[in-house]
Amino acid sequence: MSGDDDTPAAGDASTTVVATTRTMDDLGARVDALTCFLPPRVMTSLQARSIERLTTIQERTLRAARAARTDVVCRAPTGSGKTLAYVLPIADALWCEKESREGEDGVRAMIVTPTRELAAQVAAECERCCGTESCAVVVGGASAKVQEDAIKVKRAKIVVGTPGRLKEFVERGVIDLRTVETQVLDEIDRLLDGGFEGEIEAVMRPPGACQTLCFSATISSSLSRFLDRRLVPGYAEIVSEGLGGSNVGGRVEHFCFATKAGDDAIGMAVAQALEHYASERVDGKVGGQAIVFTETKLTAERVRATLTNMFTTEFNSGKRARRVTTLHGDLPQPARDATLASLRSGEVDVLVATDVASRGLDLPGVELVVHADAPKSADTYSHRAGRAGRPGCAVPGVSLLLSRPESSTETARLEREAKITFRRLVHIGERSRERVTGDLNLDLVERIDRGPVEERRHDSLISDNFAAFAADIQLIGEKKKSTTKKKRK
């Protein structure tokens, strides 16, 4: 991790292209080949979860952050393991410094997320790799006193939080930014587009004062000004793409079905989709779940009521009972936490939610995503669709867009901008789950058999030779000015 000395000036943040991969299915190095970066506790945590190999972005982020010590910008599809990609270098740094800095107070790593739910999920990953009292969750809607005690009394070294509460803690002196050595912006595009830019500026250390890691499935060119101001020139750029260049992970098929407006029509379409595209539980695992996305909180509650009534009627006629709940910003934090816990445990089958649930949440039981209201942008579609068919899901996922007959132009635009192809359904269920599974598995095999991932001057990234990797990074860094000019053209 970087220290406070020799802080470079921000400005022309030239990039070192560390890795470019055309699909997210390529695997990185075996875990046991990365012992120089992974302390024993981290290795144990990974092995306990049967993680034998890192994904490409996890390995390359780890090497860029810990070997080259550069700032990192990573754009990778949903479900590609971005959370673990930045938790691993933080864990390595903390364990390497444990003996030399024993007894010292202060937060060492700060992770900023756009939602409270994502903050809690990230904190759980940090605790798995760094210990149960290593991390404090700092979010609004919960007791500030409890969160402050986690930092000051329990001496948490990692803080994961939302911008508003983090800003409050910095201003009150609960968090001393001078001790922060790694700052992470997760879902950076949402953080900046969601009106948080002022809070982000207030809690970030200046370029070079610490290491900065930025992650999202969708990082647009509009972020270039922010990156130029906030990253050290020569930062590493790690890019991965889904099938066809999309930002959605490869285990999702995209369907479109034209239906009438209205709660009853939406409810009927959701019920039919659940019957055909959400399976029963497999080997006792949580599965067969769905998320229905709506644009507003009011619509979410109306759709929930409609589905609850519909499923109650079906249950009385002998069909499987489906339990429905909602997630949106008007719910108190304890209720939001309980909702996600119920979804993860399998107590809930259908979640009707606003886009508060579209970012980063890892729910392996979700097989189906239904867009009851069309997303406003291709990026929003990608993040919503990426909740289905994630690693650990028993079957590939389905993303079903409920369109209106008059909105065919908007649907075509969404296809083009999201770089996906909708299968337009005449009837929901005309393509069975068995057929979906077969086609997707064949496609995955074909992509794995295509050969090595395309790379740009990062041969040593897949090598276990530390010195060769560092030398390659230095060589690219010397050419960063010309690389940037070509890229901007």
pLDDT at residue 489, as a whole number:
47
Each domain of the chain, given as residue ranges in start order, spans: 15-241, 252-447
Listed residue (376, 404, 370) closest to 261, CA to CA: 404
In the structure encoding, which two tokens stand for residue 230, read together? 């906030």
Q: pLDDT at residue 20 above 70?
A: no
What CATH number has the domain spanning 252-447?
Answer: 3.40.50.300
Give the pLDDT confidence of 441-459 residue by residue, as tens digits. Answer: 333 322 322 223 233 323 3
Q: pLDDT at residue 82 above 90?
A: yes
Select the more confidently predicted residue: 181 or 317: 181
* Averaged pLDDT for residues 94-120: 86
* Averaged pLDDT for residues 35-59: 88
In the structure encoding, which two tokens stand for residue 44, read together? 């144990």
Listed residue (152, 141, 90) closest to 119, CA to CA: 141
- CA dist 447 and 438 (Å) reads 15
pLDDT at residue 102, as a whole number:
67
Order across the sheet with 15-21: list the strands: 15-21, 235-240, 72-75, 211-216, 182-186, 109-112, 158-161, 135-138
- CA dist 366 and 290 (Å) reads 5
- CA dist 309 and 13 (Å) reads 55
Assess contact for 13 and 209: CB atoms under 8 A.
Answer: no
- CA dist 264 and 272 (Å) reads 12
pLDDT at residue 383, as a whole number:
93
* Averaged pLDDT for residues 464-472: 38
* Averaged pLDDT for residues 364-374: 93
Select the more confidently predicted residue: 87 or 475: 87
* Averaged pLDDT for residues 182-187: 96
pLDDT at residue 452, as a whole number:
31
Give the pLDDT confidence of 269-328 residue by residue, as tens digits. Answer: 988 998 888 876 555 566 789 999 999 999 999 999 999 998 887 666 666 678 999 999
Strand pairing of 235-240 and 15-21? parallel
Per-residue buried b or exposed e for 235-262, using 16+ beta carbons within 10 Å of the residue's own CB: bbbbbbbbbeebbbbbbbbbbbbbeeee
Query: Coil, strand or helix: which one is 386?
Result: coil
pLDDT at residue 438, as a whole number:
39
Backbone dihedral region of 208: left (phi > 0), alpha (psi from -120 to 50 degrees) or beta? left
Select the more confidently predicted residue: 259 or 462: 259
pLDDT at residue 99, as a whole number:
60
pLDDT at residue 407, as a whole number:
81
pTM: 0.78
In the structure encoding, which two tokens stand for residue 386, read together? 């990426």
pLDDT at residue 228, as a whole number:
83
H or E element, residue 20? strand 15-21
Superfamily of domain 15-241: P-loop containing nucleotide triphosphate hydrolases (3.40.50.300)
* Averaged pLDDT for residues 146-175: 96
* Averaged pLDDT for residues 467-489: 42
Cα 251 to Cα 302, 364, 441: the distances in Å are 30, 12, 9
